[in-house]
Structure 1
């Protein structure tokens, strides 16, 4: 099983602004249509801890994820995202060792 997942844990009191930023980034990336993009991206809100969120981003490989991370537009997005967060984000970098589809 190949693949790579990055989970980004963050806190924000501005979830609507974060959602708008994510939508803008996705639309711009799709319109440009160049370079590596995530295979899947999800955002989850912690039901037990309001204001805590997790972004789950899946790539085909670690190398694809690093290529995406090194893009100028990704760096710009991350900087804008951190301006909307209430403190630093925590990153988890995971090699996929097993998956189950329904």
Structure 2
């Protein structure tokens, strides 16, 4: 299904994606932490999450998190559960993550 082009910034706010890039040599512990959060049904306002590994950069991973809107993402970021999860993640990472905050401009399915 193809959504038409977005004509204004206001329309762009109909979807929001946050990409979190991080490096770690403790990936099994990171995966277990994510599974623990999902099992507790404590994923907040997340619509969908995708966890990826960079084939070209060892120990580099990206979480692609989808929200209904930028406001939902910011509300989710302010949750105490999200802050606790982020603090635990930082203990497992080799350095600070890089965040990309993206307004959805167009989506399609094959």
Shift of 1:75: 0.2
Shift of 1:101: 1.8
Which residue, out of 9, 12, 26, partners 1:14?
A: 26
Structure whose alpha-carbon radius of gyration is higher:
2
Shift of 1:26: 1.1
1 CA distance for matches of 2:68 and 2:47? 7
Which residue, out of 80, 92, 95, partners 2:100?
A: 92
4+ long deviations beyond 2 Å: none
In structure 2, stretches of 5+ residues that fail to align are 1-11
Over aligned residues, Cα RMSD in angstroms?
1.4
Please give the per-residue CA displacement for 1:62-92, whole angstroms capped at 9, x wherever unaligned.
0111111100000000000011000110000
Query: Given the two structures, how large is their TM-score scaled by the length of structure 1?
Result: 0.91
Which residue, out of 86, 89, 92, partners 1:81?
A: 89
Query: Given the two structures, how large is their TM-score scaled by the length of structure 2?
Result: 0.84
Shift of 1:37: 2.1
> How many aligned positions are there?
98
